[in-house]
Chains A and B, each alone.
Chain A
Amino acid sequence: MEKIYKKIFFPSDTILSDSVNFVEKNSVALGCDKKTALKLRLSCEEIISALYKDNKNLNPAEISIENKADRTVLSIKISPLSLDLKAFNLAYKPDLESQKINNLGLAIASRYVDDFSMEELQFEKILINFSVNKKYEAKIKDIESPGEINFYRLVKPSRELIMEFGSLLNKVYKTFDFYPDFFHPQRLNDLLSFGELSAVISVNENNKVTGGAFAIPTRPQMLEFFGPFVFSLNKKNETAKDLACHLLEKVARKNYKGVFCTFYDNSYFPEKYFIPTGKIQNKNLQKTAWYFPLSDDEGGKTFIHPSIKDYVLNSIEKQDLPRDIHIIETDSVPEIKSSVLASKISRQTKTSAVKILLSGSDFEENIDIHMDYFKDLGIENFTVDLDLCDKFQALASPVLIKKGFKPSIFLPCGAKGDLLVMSKTISFTGDEN
């Protein structure tokens, strides 16, 4: 089966119908259900209508629709011209009186989907991505836990083993609170089949799964490490240590800067191999975030506002990172007014994660709007990722400090820009902790 369909659409009277038909037809061809195909079609429709409504835009739009492991992604490469990017903010509320009614469509477009992202390209183009996650609703098979074991060995997972591992993971760690579907065996299998998941499984002499660990890319240049998880009643520490050593070796030659780990079992996590790089915290939990560099740090530029100076410098010194440090005392603001934030929300875990897609002078106002929107949804744990290679993102830190955020995790990415995660937790009643 094809995995991607791509086409360039030139401005014409039929660009809207041509592009939406392309998206709908090919999403179905990629195996999407009707609901997903409709969401992607509507997203495309809103963008193309807003872009070509007055026939002034003479630039083509490049549209692709791609089947990824656990999601379908609609990508639209455009020259935005008069498009008001602000409307892509999840918390955007259109001003109906100022006649910007078209923006309502854009705001809705970013809400149709599970993930929305945007990046600036060369030649004043932007790439907009809309993702709809696959649904994993199949009942998870109840597999007997391995109990006591005599021996284990480490293997690369086959389809059968990753499914068995996923089933045991859901059974043994069902109390873990995470995004819905995240650990579904079929999702793990899809990620494995598409090469998006690196995993190591331990099995006993009867080839029954006794544990496992896996890593997937969740941030640019970074892999997130999950586990190790051990299901046998004995040999837990040895298995956990071996799984961690194997997985680190396996991912060490991949093109990532490092792995970070916040999702593990405290009772046997092999801490000695990892570097503590901050804390994750939410209402119920405070845990160390661990980091392991996969390649030598080639050095890079880091912008630091005095409000986070101690935290960031300490993190840099601790890992002896070669950095060209720029302390930014000025309060310069981006020329662009409207900032655009990408948001991910989990109502189940009451968490929100924000990334700055486009820095703008209205950041403070925008983050306030987002926080209010999240609070209305019952969100209690907030994080904002800052790319410290970007001066304007670094300048967001004093604003976030003012709003009660604290630096919580530092992930070094060399020349690609260090990532600082700032977080804030409020209590159920809305009081700040």
Chain B
Amino acid sequence: MKEYPSMLVPDFVKEFEPYIPSKPDHILKKYYKVSKLHRLNNNENPLGPPKGAIKALNSLKPKEMAIYPSGDAYDLKEFIAKNLNLHPDQIILGNGANEIIQFVIKTYCSQGDNIITGDKTFAVYEWVAEFSGIEARLTPMKENGFDLDAMLAFMDERTKIFFICNPNNPTGTYVDKKTLEKFLESVDGKAIVVLDEAYCEFVEKDDFPNGAKLVDKYKNLLVFRTFSKMYGLAGLRIGYLIGSREAVYDVCRTRIVYSINSAAQAAAIAAFGDTDHIKKTNDLVKTGKAVIIPRLKSLGLEVINGEGNYVIAGLPFNDQLAYRKLIKKGYMVRTMTSFRFPNHIRITIREKDVMEGLSTAMEELIYEMTNFYSVA
């Protein structure tokens, strides 16, 4: 048998190590010998999807799965457009926001171009750019938020896209409406500005910008949203893009059609705009934060809390170690070295009793580790 032709892989691709996702819960439970595992690692909604979406999923007929879904999620697109007071041609659906990031980078970037984003944000912008041979310019965060002045300072004639995660995952900071508009004026249509609003439904601040209302004014603005977080449909992988008709037409040039399955389309229509579900979820997040944050602070830990259904805790020891010790207590958190926050963990906010249990587990952990350190 001939050898595998690894020389076919371009050098810039060889620089990447494969991303290994965490193992399924049943494997982790067995490995760590725990009967119950609370998932606090992926910012999933513990309430699950809205009732309407559950009903829509239950009404699916297995036999209909033999039929291809609508190639561009026609009905869903019309529905979202109507609700957001936009034209359907201003919307593109994708298999999760990750796929939409790929569409946008493929549309606007060619070899020698660059994108600009923060260095402690959702990593997929950077990854997709670099997999595609596009330079990702990363500016350090300022007080855990995007430093828009630094981003502008590194803009040049080859800068094609700015990515701003608003509110930012993982820090929860956000760019307010006034600052965003000032930034858009400064960019002056010379590059695309992507506003990733994956967590926008969790924000209840008056000065938080609604990107969908700005796309007609700023033709270079694209907005990403997802059904994975607030709408609890992460398992179905569905997200969307909003932009001016001109911009959306261009992005459609590189779009892959038929990538959103029928179940996702049906559930998303039923879920979209369910204000009761949004309120319940936000109440749960508020209650959960009210439990966990004071307990973390009372342990002397740094807490990075902003908008969104998550908080970050800074630890006086390694995050891998915290992960192992907490999972043995039944709580799976997100280690943050991969977000360039070594010795930090990100905690998804869940029900009050889960947050109380985690707080106790954190107290035990800090007590154990402080004892070790005081010996040293």
Contact = CB atoms under 8 A, between A and B. Distances in A.
Given A150-B153, A154-B119, A245 B17 contact: no
Contacts, number: 90
A252 B153 contact: no
A242 B318 contact: no
Nearest to A254: B17
B320 interface: yes
Contacts of A7: none
Contact of A151 (B150, B317, B369): B150
A293 interface: yes
Nearest to B325: A320
Interface in A228-282: 238, 242, 244-246, 248-249, 252-254, 272-273, 275-276
A152 interface: yes
Contacts of B338: 249, 252-253
Interface string B310-344: 00000011101101110000000000011111110
Contact of B139 (A153, A245, A294, A319): A153
Interface residues of A, number: 34
B375 A317 contact: yes
Nearest to A251: B17
B4 interface: no
Contacts of A2: none
A156 interface: yes
Interface residues of B, number: 38
Interface string A274-314: 01100000000000000011111100000000000000001
B376 interface: yes
B206 interface: no
A272 B154 contact: no
Nearest to A242: B140
B318 A292 contact: yes
Residue among B18, B140, B324, B368 with most chain A CB within 10 A: B140
A46 to B, nearest CB: 34
B141 to A, nearest CB: 9
Given A242-B119, A246-B340, A317 B318 contact: no
A184 to B, nearest CB: 23
A13 interface: no
A205 B376 contact: no
B219 interface: no
Interface in A395-430: none
A252 B339 CA distance: 11
Interface string B257-272: 0000000000000000
A296 B139 contact: no
Nearest to B11: A195
A318 interface: yes
B339 A151 contact: no
Given A154-B140, A293-B321, A320-B372, A245 B154 contact: no
B106 interface: no
A244 B119 CA distance: 12
Interface of A: 150-156, 195, 205, 238, 242, 244-246, 248-249, 252-254, 272-273, 275-276, 292-297, 314, 317-320
8 contacts: A153-B140, A156-B15, A205-B153, A246-B138, A253-B20, A296-B320, A319-B321, A320-B369
